[in-house]
A and B are shown apart, each in its own frame.
Chain A
Amino acid sequence: MTPEISRIGPPEPVGQPAAPAGPVSYDQLDDHELLRLHVAGNPDAFGYLVRRHRDRMWAVAIRTLGEPEEAADALQEAFISAFRRADSFRGDAKVTTWLHRIVVNACLDRIRRRQVRAADPLPEDEDRATELAGPAEDDPAEVRERRLDVLNALKQINSDQRSALVLVDMEGYSIEEAAAILGCAPGTVKSRCARGRARLLPLLRHWQTTRAGAEAPDVPAKTAAEAVGTE
């Protein structure tokens, strides 16, 4: 695993705000301990583990699959699989890395099955799209807006390019790791990433200029067009 992978997963919770010396709970057990508890037969430990990381795993699934129903189904498969194979977890790895990989594989499985069934029909649904950005009270408006922009843009590129881009650009896997996960040659991953970026660029140009702030208001697209037209 490359060092970048280690950023996957939120930081460990730093104890409970209330009653630091009082009753302790699962929250004070780290991921490895929770997984060991689970393997040893504890009925609640796995649920705590999943709850701790579910927003991260949801992000991976919804970005890769685009559709909330699909993402929920993929996570269900992934969590059941992780639940049952927990005893095969190697103790020297990060639990989040392990869980993340199972989620990614479950998402890719769904994409493959979907590709067999039909040619990737992705219906638009405005209400659900907004819902995708998560509960309104949780994040500032501009965070939600950017999240939606990216999700919508990702949905408009083909699923091969999307999975490669999510793995490499968004999740920080190396080209080689992504190739192993996707079961294709590194060159294919590079090519899918390149084409995916080229397709995403016009869809997210607005987003980029917003992020760049006031320094370059709305210049790029226009000058390019003018240059072509006038010369």
Chain B
Amino acid sequence: MTDSGLPTSEHLEHLDPDTIADLIENLLPAPEAHRAREHVKACPDCQQTFDALLQLSADLADEGRTDIPMPTDVAEHLDAVIVSESMLRSSTIGVHSLAQIREEPRRHLPKLLGAAAAVVVVAAIGVGVVFATKDNAPGGTADTNPTTVVPTGAPTLSTSDVGPDAQRWLENSGGTLLNGSADELACAKNFASGRPNPQLRLVQPAKVDDQRATVIGLQGASTQDIQVFVVTGCSESGGVADPFYDTTVTLRNR
């Protein structure tokens, strides 16, 4: 209809930005799209709006790639939330009543911080109980506590226990168990990275044959095969792993 050029009347009627934006997204019915495209081609103003809309998307994409620093108070608040969530999780093992606190809806900061503070106290008591149990079992291993499916702290064992214990720990923890301080974990990771099979499946501080050691498990040929090493050195900050025993275990399918 307007193929042969734009009549003056139509030239006067600019396209509104909505129509141009719809044109860009292919949302207009065919005849209207055709008319709009012809108009944009012939009209510098509408062409300019057309270009500006495309540029806007590009600019929004640029802006979208930039991060926005989280305000300090929000960051601190969220840190506190995560710490309290962590404490709730670690304390649910021994203190059943915490399950109720855990399920409590938390929508407001004051309430939440109150709950977090309460949890700190309960968690501290829970930890005390665990320590007391350990102290009362001299030379005890994780085995002496029947409710402990995975070890806490550094269990005492001999090298002959390493294979069976490592297998049991891994089977009880779903196939991966990474315990220990950040330093110890990083040391284990460094050790793993120097091996042909660097995937860490087990890190467990332990006292093996009377020396403080770290039991490290690396994935073998399959996910069920674990190569287990006992190393010294990882318990010291910045230490380097020095293996003195190794064995291989095969996890049973669960």
Q: Is the CB of B90 within 8 A of A43?
A: yes
Q: Is the CB of B187 within 8 A of A41?
A: no
Q: Which residue of B lies closest to A154 (CB)?
A: B60
Instruction: List A39-76 residues whose CB lies under 8 Å from chain B.
Output: 39-44, 46-47, 50-51, 54-59, 62-63, 68, 71-73, 75-76
A212 CA to B42 CA, complexed, in Å:
24
Contact of B30 with A by CB under 8 A = no
A134 CA to B68 CA, complexed, in Å:
6
Q: Is the CB of A193 within 8 A of B25?
A: yes
Among B50-58, B137-145, B156-164, B205-213, the stretch in contact with A: B50-58
Given the known inter-chain contacts A197-B57, A198-B17, please indicate yes or no for A134 contacting B25, CB distance below 8 A: no
Name the one of B14, B25, B71, B186 contacting A194, with C-beta atoms under 8 angstroms.
B25
**Nearest chain A CB to B240's CB is how many angstroms away?**
10
Q: Which residue of B lies closest to A38 (CB)?
A: B86
**Nearest chain B CB to A113's CB is how many angstroms away?**
11
Q: Is the CB of B237 within 8 A of A10?
A: no
Contact of B85 with A by CB under 8 A = yes
Q: Is the CB of B21 within 8 A of A198?
A: yes
Q: Which residue of A lies closest to B17 (CB)?
A: A198
**Nearest chain B CB to A147's CB is how many angstroms away?**
6
* Residues of A with C-beta under 8 A to B24: 194, 197
Q: Is the CB of B63 within 8 A of A58?
A: no
Q: Is the CB of B53 within 8 A of A197?
A: yes
* Residues of B with C-beta under 8 A to A204: 56, 59
Q: Which residue of A lies closest to B19 (CB)?
A: A198
Given the known inter-chain contacts A76-B81, A198-B17, please indicate yes or no for A58 contacting B74, CB distance below 8 A: yes
Q: Is the CB of B20 within 8 A of A198?
A: yes
Contact of B118 with A by CB under 8 A = no
* Residues of A with C-beta under 8 A to B86: 43-44, 46-47, 83
* Residues of B with C-beta under 8 A to A80: 81, 85, 106
Q: Which residue of B lies closest to A192 (CB)?
A: B25
Instruction: List B170-209 residues whose CB lies under 8 Å from chain A.
Output: 173, 176-179, 182-183, 185-187, 189-190, 200
A53 CA to B30 CA, complexed, in Å:
45
Q: Is the CB of A23 within 8 A of B238?
A: yes
Residue count of chain B within 8 Å CB distance of chain A: 66
Q: Is the CB of B83 within 8 A of A47?
A: yes
Contact of A211 with B by CB under 8 A = yes
**Nearest chain A CB to B100's CB is how many angstroms away?**
16
- What per-residue 1/0 map shows which CB atoms of B21-64 lie under 8 Å from chain A? 11011110000000000000000110011001101110111011
| Residue of A29, A33, A150, A198 with highest tally of chain B CB at under 10 A | A198
Contact of A157 with B by CB under 8 A = no
Instruction: List A166-201 residues whose CB lies under 8 Å from chain B.
Output: 166, 169-172, 187, 190-191, 193-195, 197-198, 200-201
Contact of A123 with B by CB under 8 A = no
**Nearest chain B CB to A14's CB is how many angstroms away?**
16
Name the one of B56, B68, B106 contacting A201, with C-beta atoms under 8 angstroms.
B56
Instruction: List A120-163 residues whose CB lies under 8 Å from chain B.
Output: 131-135, 138-139, 143, 146-147, 150
* Residues of B with C-beta under 8 A to A119: none
Contact of A98 with B by CB under 8 A = no
Residue count of chain A within 8 Å CB distance of chain B: 79
Name the one of B60, B79, B178 contacting A170, with C-beta atoms under 8 angstroms.
B60
Known: A51-B79, A139-B69. 18 other contacts (CB 8 A): A23-B238, A24-B190, A25-B183, A28-B186, A28-B189, A47-B82, A47-B86, A72-B74, A79-B81, A79-B82, A138-B69, A143-B66, A198-B20, A201-B49, A201-B53, A201-B56, A211-B59, A227-B45
Name A residues whose Cβ lies closer than 8 Å to a Cβ of B: 7, 10, 22-26, 28-29, 33, 36-37, 39-44, 46-47, 50-51, 54-59, 62-63, 68, 71-73, 75-76, 79-80, 83-84, 131-135, 138-139, 143, 146-147, 150, 165-166, 169-172, 187, 190-191, 193-195, 197-198, 200-202, 204-205, 207-208, 211, 220, 223-224, 227-228, 231
Name B residues whose Cβ lies closer than 8 Å to a Cβ of A: 11-12, 14, 16-18, 20-22, 24-27, 44-45, 48-49, 52-53, 55-57, 59-61, 63-72, 74-75, 77-79, 81-83, 85-87, 89-90, 106-107, 150, 173, 176-179, 182-183, 185-187, 189-190, 200, 237-238
Q: Write 10 A-B pairs (CB below 8 A) sorted by A numbering.
A: A26-B182, A40-B177, A55-B69, A63-B68, A132-B68, A198-B16, A201-B49, A201-B52, A223-B44, A223-B48
CB-based closest 5 A-B pairs: A170-B64, A24-B186, A134-B69, A194-B21, A55-B67
